[in-house]
Amino acid sequence: MNRTIFTIMALLILSLPAAAEFQVDLDHMVWDRYYDNDEVNAVLQALHKAHPDLTELRSLGKSEENRDVWLLTINDPATGPHQDKPGIYVDGAIHGNEIQATEVCLYLAWTLLERHDDWTKLGELFARTSFYIVPTVNVDNRSRFFEDPSSYNIGRSARVPHDDDGDGLEDEDDYDDLDGDGEILQMRIRDPHGTHKTHPDDPRVTIRIKPGEQAEWRLLGMEGIDNDHDGRINEDTPGYLDMNRNWGFMWQPRYVQGGSGNYPFSARNTKAVSDFLAAQTNLCFGFNFHNYGGMWLRGPGSDMSPPIPPGDLKVFDFLGVEGERVVPGYRYLIASKDLYETHGDFDEWMYQCLGIYCFVGELYMSSQTAYRGRGDAPNGDDGNLWSRRPPLVERQKFNDALMMGEMFRDWRPFTHPTYGEIEIGGWRTFTTRIPPTFMMPEMLHRNAMYVLWTAGQAPRLSVEITETKDLGDGLWRVRTRAVNAGAIPTLSDKARTMSILPLDEFRIAGDGIEVLSGGVLLDRWHDVVAPVERRPHRVPTWTNGYGTREVQWFVQGTGDVTVTYTGAKCRAQSTTAALIGE
């Protein structure tokens, strides 16, 4: 297949005199690498250019540093408008240093657009579902992660100026790349009265001393100097507004929830995304990708949150357990119970305010850097290979054997203006929370395929007229049934009980037909019906996952009748039958 290779000029790389040309070849995409912001935008543009009839690419808004927050909508218009189908929302990198979340979104978009003609089941899913993908929410700090000296623990927040140290100035004491190697690493100083010592099995590793042990080192934090001359180092870095604590459900001020911002949606990015989501009523599930830990997380985020209705718990549990199977080692967990309490989270806002089921996907398990054989005794924090970070010495063995030692920068001497003679070194920027690139293809594929598996559980209705009974004198009893072949209901219990959205609707219509009464058929054998009081031709209802909904009408007249089922999160379905008396 002939393809047009879309090109852009990438960012200047270090001190090169001219920009390097980045080319996107969709037929030969490379997934064992990380894409910077310009490259991400180029991939999105290339996908849109190659599939203009299947995609819509638009900016939801501008960030604090005037970067676009891009939304890629994927839908097959031949089978209907995107808003008339169940929608799946996926985003990544709401925390700027959690960069591989963006790659999952790109891989998902590429798979949908490039393979839906090759894989039969994917083609069927593609025809009946719409997808909304925001690869990078925190475009500013993810961009800076690539552009500026950084560390795996730097750049989480939005670039909203904030006075961290209360001195009346904002963001005036950032990290500093003291040795000019392009990374922000650890500082340490020799101190017999310090807190750490050298590990006896590996001189690169410093470990905390036990009571009574002799210290060798004191850890001084990440590279930096006292830029504002207040006697502290790195105490007022850019930000801090955590965009995953800035959403409008159970939002709490900073003294309760650090990083929450001055008010909900005070970050431009969260406001832009929330405006889109609140208006997109066809969404039935959302994924918010982070790193790391290997988890599928759901709410409640804290004890302050209301309980989740039993029907919705069944949906979460069914989908979450399957997620553990699709991505081995990931655990389906409750955020407040199994991790820690938070307020103002994205996934809680999605569910509690919009009634949309949502998972936080914590990508990559650092336990994958374990270095042990079948006969070696597990020696992680809790003895579980798949859950906790391996001991540092074991990680160093992994580093040496699989990465030729490149994950760790050996300690080097440096003369610090405040501390004097110190050493700088440690785990490098693209490590620890971020998998080595050789691990990426499987990680991307498994997580993207779980999104697609979940999309396959979106409401999928069929409608049939099960009975047309002639009662004489032109009076008919008409019964109909909707069957949902997906695990996700047409409305969540939360959306239904809180009246977030109108109920679905069964309708009956026909020329020369008068509808006398109608209602949900609760028991077909004993003729138990919950009648509607007004407009009996319209019966408000919903259909559970893997469930059915039956409706009964009494109508007067003859001729064709058409029964239609409509809902915000399912495709409209209709069927017709003839009422012809003997």
Give one DSSP letter per residue of 149-199, joined into a string: -B-TTS--SB-----TTSSS-SS-B----TT-SSB--EEEEE-TTSSEEEE
pLDDT at residue 382, rounded to an integer = 42
The H-or-E segment that residue 477 falls in is strand 475-484
- Integer angstrom CA distances of residue 414 from 164, 209, 285, 420: 28, 24, 51, 8
pLDDT at residue 18, rounded to an integer = 37
For the chain, the distance separating the N- and C-terminal CA atoms, rounded to the nearest angstrom, is 60
pLDDT at residue 11, rounded to an integer = 30
Rounded to 5°, the CA angle 101-104-105 comes to: 90
Distance between CA atoms of residues 434 and 366, nearest Å: 8
pLDDT 10s per residue in the chain (582 long)? 344 343 333 332 323 333 457 889 999 999 999 999 999 999 999 999 999 999 999 999 999 999 999 999 999 999 999 999 999 999 999 999 999 999 999 999 999 999 999 999 999 999 999 999 999 999 999 999 999 999 999 999 999 999 888 899 988 999 999 999 999 999 999 999 999 999 999 999 999 999 999 999 999 999 999 999 999 999 989 989 999 999 999 999 999 999 999 999 999 999 999 999 999 999 999 999 999 899 999 999 999 999 999 999 999 999 999 999 999 999 999 999 999 999 999 999 999 999 999 999 999 998 889 898 877 766 544 444 334 678 899 999 999 999 999 999 999 999 999 999 999 999 999 999 999 999 999 999 999 999 999 999 999 999 999 999 999 999 999 999 999 999 999 999 999 999 999 999 999 999 989 999 999 999 999 999 999 999 999 999 999 999 999 999 999 999 999 999 999 999 999 999 999 876
CB atoms within 10 A of CB 420: 9
CB atoms within 10 A of CB 327: 22
Pinpoint the residues of the chain covered by CATH 3.40.630.10: 31-146+241-364
Distance between CA atoms of residues 31 and 391, nearest Å: 29
pLDDT at residue 582, rounded to an integer = 65
- Superfamily of structural domain 461-579: Immunoglobulins (2.60.40.10)
pLDDT at residue 374, rounded to an integer = 79
Q: By CB neighbour count within 10 A (0-12 exposed, 13-18 middle, 19+ buried), where does 373 fall? A: exposed
Q: By CB neighbour count within 10 A (0-12 exposed, 13-18 middle, 19+ buried), where does 328 fall? A: exposed
pLDDT at residue 234, rounded to an integer = 94
Distance between CA atoms of residues 91 and 286, nearest Å: 8
Q: What is the DSSP string of 400-462?
A: HHHHTTTTEEEEEEEEETTTEEEEEEEE-TTSTTS--GGGHHHHHHHHHHHHHHHHTTS--EE
CB-based contact 50:112 (threshold 8 Å): no
Pinpoint the residues of the chain covered by CATH 2.60.40.10: 461-579
Q: Could you tell me which of 319, 167, 297 has the C-alpha nearest to residue 228?
A: 167
Q: How many residues does the chain have?
A: 582
Q: Could you tell me which of 174, 123, 176 has the C-alpha nearest to residue 149?
A: 176
130 bridge partner residues = 87
Distance between CA atoms of residues 72 and 402, nearest Å: 36
pLDDT at residue 373, rounded to an integer = 84
CB-based contact 123:56 (threshold 8 Å): no
Structural tokens at position 124: 């069927």
CB-based contact 43:24 (threshold 8 Å): yes
Distance between CA atoms of residues 135 and 101, nearest Å: 7
pTM for this entry? 0.94
Structural tokens at position 569: 């999160």
Instruction: Reply yes or no on domain 31-146+241-364 having CATH 3.40.630.10.
Output: yes
